[in-house]
A and B are shown apart, each in its own frame.
Chain A
Amino acid sequence: MFEISPAEWTAILLSLRVAVVATLVATPFGIALAWLLARREFWGKSILDALVHLPLVLPPVVTGYLLLLTLGRRGLVGAWLADNLGIVFAFRWTGAALACGVMSFPLLVRPIRLSIEAIDRRLEQASSTLGAAPWQVFATVTLPLALPGVLAGMVLGFAKAIGEFGATITFVSNIPGETQTISSAIYSLIQTPDGDSAAGRLVVVSTVIAMGALIASEWFARRATKRLHGN
């Protein structure tokens, strides 16, 4: 009944790899950006804020196309990276990870930013009067207190990344074993006459993964509140 075929496994494992890599690589950037948006005032802040949220409101196919234009093999940045560093995103699983990272970035940044904003700045002041340099304040007070938010952001970003479809298929196409994630596999299967049961299985798998991620995120959020209130 519920037997997952090798081809389906390939898509599931690829999706997991793409989403894990996308989340892990995006997280440090997400933390840096969240901190910048939460704690600093600078010229162009609202533009940067809008830019971060852009993938959330743009049609995913537009984001994917923009990625193709810039980072595709003939794209300005893509050609340079391929010629000088040997890094190729186009039609590779790394490109899928990049597309997923970009698409999930707003969801990653938001909880981190909110949790940094929720931290009492007076604790950071207290830390500096005890001799902590700004980076030490960040490492020993800001980041630990924001950690539940960071984890919640990672979980949300991961859930988004694993379900990403439009930008990924536009940027890196739908190549089994290389760029065919669960979503693009489902898309292919429902286009084929006998694909319904296989598509059904993948739908169940992706639902389970997404549910798990949401429950985990809820759990982290609850821990965050508890932590900030002292116990």
Chain B
Amino acid sequence: MLRVDVTKQLGEFSLEASFESQGRVTGLFGASGAGKTSLINIIAGLLRPDRGIIALDNETLDDTSAGVHVPPHRRRIGYVFQDARLFPHLNVRQNLDYGRRMNRLAEDQAQHARITDLLDIGHLLDRRPGQLSGGERQRVALGRALLSKPRLLLLDEPLGSLDESRKEEILPYLVRLRDEGIPMVYVSHDAAELRQLATQIVMLRRGRVTALGGVKVLT
């Protein structure tokens, strides 16, 4: 369970969002500039709220009144960025292995094989990110986040930088991922995408939550 109740002032823009999510895939829906990315950056710990609480399951990650702020590297929250952000100096194999090494987890061959299979990236392992297509890059970024064994996965418009045909290429992988059971917060401005993936919707408009509920709220 994810609990969010925060305010954040960013220049002229003010974000004031409060919701609780039980759903497996929480769709964060809104136009660009609605504050979606700021909100998941707060959830990830990359941005500190001015006031409020972020809690995941039974752990408080941010509580400004108690002075609690768990830094991003201790949150075990995976993040798939719109622009993938693969490490250019590492090949795909090393990128995928990065989270495991940083968290000092034991090697898990089975998990590694399953994820590379699921995302069809087994043939890319020795390549550098510069030699990948946009869709391949995004799949590797997904794999990299998953292999760090997060308890929550944040996806910030993972299809945003891809053209239509590439989107069609990635979407089935995301559906498979959802059925894996790892809780996700999925950010998008595309209602059709969220209808396919989300189990619960948080609608955001100019920094405020305007609707909460099932995918029906998208219509």
Contacts and interface: CB of A to CB of B under 8 A. Distances in A.
B73 A132 contact: yes
Interface residues of A, number: 24
B201 interface: no
Interface in A107-141: 120, 122-123, 125-134, 136-137, 140-141
A228 interface: yes
Interface stretch (B28-36, B95-103, B173-181): B95-103
A227 to B, nearest CB: 6
Contacts of B99: 130-131
A227 B89 contact: yes
A132 B46 CA distance: 13
A86 interface: no
Interface string A123-167: 101111111111011001100110000000000000000000000
A65 B24 CA distance: 70
Contacts of B74: 131
Contact of A128 (B71, B83, B145): B71
Contact of A130 (B128, B130, B131, B148): B148
Contact of A127 (B75, B83, B87, B128): B87
30 contacts: A122-B83, A123-B88, A125-B72, A125-B85, A126-B79, A126-B81, A128-B71, A128-B73, A129-B45, A129-B73, A129-B75, A129-B78, A129-B79, A130-B78, A130-B99, A130-B102, A130-B103, A130-B145, A131-B73, A131-B76, A133-B73, A134-B73, A136-B102, A140-B98, A145-B88, A227-B89, A228-B88, A230-B88, A230-B130, A231-B131
Interface of B: 44-46, 71-79, 81, 83, 85, 87-89, 98-99, 102-103, 128-131, 144-145, 148
Interface of A: 120, 122-123, 125-134, 136-137, 140-141, 144-145, 227-231
